[in-house]
Amino acid sequence: MQEQISALKEDITARIDAASDLAALEDIRVAALGKKGSVSELMKGLGRMSPEERKEMGPALNSLKNDVADAITARKDVLEEAALDARLKSEKVDITLPVLDHAAGSVHPISQVMDEIAEIFASLGFDVAEGPDIESDFHNFTALNIPPEHPARQDHDTFYLKPDANGDRKVLRTHTSPVQIRTMLSKEPPIRIIAPGRTYRSDSDATHTPMFHQVEGLVIDRDTHLGHLKGTLEAFLKAFFEVDAVTLRLRPSYFPFTEPSMEVDVQCSFEGGTVKIGDGNDWLEILGSGMVNPKVLEACNLDPNVYQGFAFGCGIDRLAMLKYGMNDLRAFFDADLRWLKHYGFRALDLPTIAGGLSR
């Protein structure tokens, strides 16, 4: 009997070692340990043995069963690893290969402009911050010094969601300014962020779409002043329009969340039917900005006697139109392949300042 066990063990082990794939190994397992397998059959014989025989053969058969099971598991690991290796080899992609020029798909001008903006502000030490498109009334309005009944709410053509159980209505954010609030509530100054993203207003014509894009800027520190704002905007617009110099005009204006507030115009020319940014006899309004209103700082638990800063907000779609010469905002959202082919950017050309942003 002992000899029979050793012979069986040798035979099964040899076949396990020779199994070339997982299916063959499974067949061997069934033939040995399955209900009618060779090892199982031997185990069944235990019942017919005398108590003395069983005492001797019981442990021997058990260890046979365990050894065979262990050998199968070990072989299974080896085969599985080999199968994975083979799969990895067959699915290998050489990511160093150049992208084919006719590869389908291109980067939408809005995405390109957002990448360019993030790159420029990164070089000035700004982080990119984010907030939700579905925003609370508090973040979108109240904390920005636009309390309920404030007339400025009417200018926003707000999309309201259904009120919740408490009667609070969320809104589709009407501007990127709520990201200012979220940032100030969650971070200690010094703060230097931009927040690019989608914004929504119930308005639609050649220069307005219900969904559009803005980028917000926010700097908070102990002694940030208007000169920093002007210098930052000059550096940004110069880099963005890829010109040697820009001249800015700061016009007094009103926003509830800044004091003082100003609109910023950039000098340009409209000669020959195209806009040239940099010099000329005309001015183009490009963004809103100002020094963060102390009431906004207080709403974010910052002491206005310690901290101050500036903010700005700018329409990205308009920036893209000005830079890349498109004249109808609606085309951005038509998903017309011919338009995308014409105005889109190569998928892997990430804008860098050293590389000349748009080239």
Rule CB under 6 A: which residues touch ligand DAH?
175, 177, 216, 255, 258, 288-290, 311-313
Buried b (16+ CB within 10 A) or exposed e, 294-326: bbbbebbebeeeebbbbbbbbbbbbbbbbbeeb
Rounded Cα gap, residues 204 and 188, in angstroms: 39
- Kindly tell me which of 13 and 253 has the beta carbon lying closer to ligand DAH: 253
Distance in Å, CB of 288 to ligand DAH, minimum: 3
Rounded Cα gap, residues 172 and 211, in angstroms: 10
3-class secondary structure, 159: coil
Distance in Å, CB of 127 to ligand DAH, minimum: 16
Distance in Å, CB of 90 to ligand DAH, minimum: 53
Q: How far is CA 188 from the centre of its chain?
A: 24
Buried b (16+ CB within 10 A) or exposed e, 187-216: eebebbbbbbbebbbeeeeeeebeebbbbb
Q: What are phi and psi of 236, to 5 degrees?
A: -65, -50
Q: What are phi and psi of 250, to 5 degrees?
A: -100, 115
- The residue number with the shortest CB distance to ligand DAH is 313
- Kindly tell me which of 178 and 351 has the beta carbon lying closer to ligand DAH: 178
- Kindly tell me which of 177 and 267 has the beta carbon lying closer to ligand DAH: 177
Q: Which amino acid is at 308?
A: Q
Q: What are phi and psi of 154, to 5 degrees?
A: -65, -25
- Kindly tell me which of 112 and 261 has the beta carbon lying closer to ligand DAH: 261
Q: What are phi and psi of 103, to 5 degrees?
A: -55, 135
Distance in Å, CB of 199 to ligand DAH, minimum: 7
Distance in Å, CB of 290 to ligand DAH, minimum: 5
Rounded Cα gap, residues 318 and 78, in angstroms: 60
Distance in Å, CB of 354 to ligand DAH, minimum: 29
- Kindly tell me which of 208 and 276 has the beta carbon lying closer to ligand DAH: 208
Distance in Å, CB of 228 to ligand DAH, minimum: 13
Distance in Å, CB of 204 to ligand DAH, minimum: 17
- Kindly tell me which of 241 and 312 has the beta carbon lying closer to ligand DAH: 312
Q: What are phi and psi of 352, to 5 degrees?
A: -130, 150
Residues 6+ away with beta carbon under 8 Å from 82: none
Nearest to 293 by CA among 309, 312, 282: 309
- Kindly tell me which of 37 and 197 has the beta carbon lying closer to ligand DAH: 197
Distance in Å, CB of 122 to ligand DAH, minimum: 19
Strands 127-128 and 191-200, bridge-based pairing: parallel
Q: Which amino acid is at 242?
A: E
- Kindly tell me which of 286 and 321 has the beta carbon lying closer to ligand DAH: 286
- Kindly tell me which of 170 and 175 has the beta carbon lying closer to ligand DAH: 175
